[in-house]
């Protein structure tokens, strides 16, 4: 287990908001370069990676669908020579926006053997043997992966070559997807040993399931801990009051709440600038008391409502 006395070791940097010009996070567009060219976004990614590393963060999470994020990360690792960074990536979505901000479709999902083979080869070309965790992007209970034995065996070959396998989840049915994935075995061994799920103050419904798989030996990563920026910029009054009492921004309270979950091995941050990273990291000096935790627990919303509202967030 990661030492509790060094909480920065439980933080990771996600590149969803940095590897492409458009994303759904609220509060992102205002802090990005005026011209979101590939070079400008690469330089921004490099500066955030440098700052995160300087603060002690040693986990970086990316995906094939995050625009050029894998390329940016590969270039940074090559330039800096850091050997102590854990890298996780994902396959299953393809980025199709061609670096446009305004387009009808930004990414296309496909859980197929062909998509896995193509994207694994692309990831390996860029990052070589630096991939520590390879995840199915947004696995749901109705994914064809559960019925595709050839795909499962191809994943098992990656696992047996020494790469940990996991998956990410989204949506109101996250617990069901995790429970179904838990049952998958190939060669007498569970296919997966890690899960990355959306968990935050407003949408904690998957917490019980994550606790169970953590107890069972899986590594648990939390994403979207600020509800795509909504908790940071539009927090409930009670949430804002807790932030005020602790002398930090609402974003830090969102991160601190995630870190307060003992079953959360890695809490991913998704800043679009060094300044956002710095305010996120204020969470490390926050000690939420029982009253804070009870108040935050009371702010949970209905999962279906939460995900319905998230689906309406525009790419910008």
pLDDT value for 284: 97
The whole-number pLDDT of residue 6 equals 77
Q: What per-residue confidence (pLDDT) applies to 3? A: 37
Digits of tens for pLDDT over the chain (316 positions)?
333 447 899 999 999 999 999 999 999 999 999 999 999 999 999 999 999 999 999 999 999 999 999 999 999 999 999 999 999 999 999 999 999 999 999 999 999 999 999 999 999 999 999 999 999 999 999 999 999 999 999 999 999 999 999 999 999 999 999 999 999 999 999 999 999 999 999 999 999 999 999 999 999 999 999 999 999 999 999 999 999 999 999 999 999 999 999 999 999 999 999 999 999 999 999 999 999 999 999 999 999 999 999 999 999 9
- Residue 261 Cα distances to 7, 249, 256, 257, 258, angstroms: 12, 20, 9, 7, 6
CA dist., res. 219 & res. 214, Å (int): 6
> pTM of the entire structure?
0.97
> Can you read off the two tokens belonging to residue 112?
């197929």
Q: Are 282 and 249 in contact (CB under 8 A)?
A: yes
């Amino acid at each position: 287990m990661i030492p509790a006395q060094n909480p920065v070791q439980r933080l990771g940097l996600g590149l969803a908001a940095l590897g492409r010009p458009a994303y759904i996070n609220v509060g992102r567009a205002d802090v990005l370069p005026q011209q979101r060219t590939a070079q400008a976004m690469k330089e921004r990614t490099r500066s955030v990676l440098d700052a995160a590393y300087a603060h002690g963060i040693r986990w970086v999470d990316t995906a094939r669908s995050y625009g050029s994020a894998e390329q940016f990360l590969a270039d940074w690792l090559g330039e800096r020579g850091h050997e102590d960074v854990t890298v996780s990536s994902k396959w299953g979505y393809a980025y199709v926006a061609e670096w446009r901000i305004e387009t009808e479709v930004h990414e296309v999902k496909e859980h197929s053997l062909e998509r896995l083979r193509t994207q694994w080869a692309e990831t390996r070309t860029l990052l070589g043997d630096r991939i520590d965790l390879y995840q199915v992007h947004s696995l749901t209970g109705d994914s064809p992966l559960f019925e595709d034995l050839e795909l499962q065996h191809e994943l098992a070959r990656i696992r047996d070559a020494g790469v940990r396998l996991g998956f990410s989840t989204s949506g109101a049915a996250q617990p069901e997807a995790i429970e179904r994935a838990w049952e998958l075995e190939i060669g007498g061994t569970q296919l997966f040993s890690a899960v990355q799920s959306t968990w935050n103050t407003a949408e904690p419904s998957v917490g019980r399931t994550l606790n169970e798989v953590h107890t069972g030996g899986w590594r648990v990563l939390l994403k979207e801990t600020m509800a795509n920026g909504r908790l940071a910029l539009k927090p409930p009054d009670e949430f804002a009051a807790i932030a005020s009492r602790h002398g930090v921004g609402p974003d830090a309270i969102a991160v601190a709440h995630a870190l307060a979950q003992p079953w959360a091995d890695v809490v991913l941050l998704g800043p679009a600038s060094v300044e956002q990273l710095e305010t996120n990291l204020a969470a490390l000096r926050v000690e939420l008391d029982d009253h804070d935790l009870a108040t935050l627990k009371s702010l949970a919303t209905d999962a279906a409502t939460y995900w319905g509202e998230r689906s309406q967030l525009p790419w910008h």
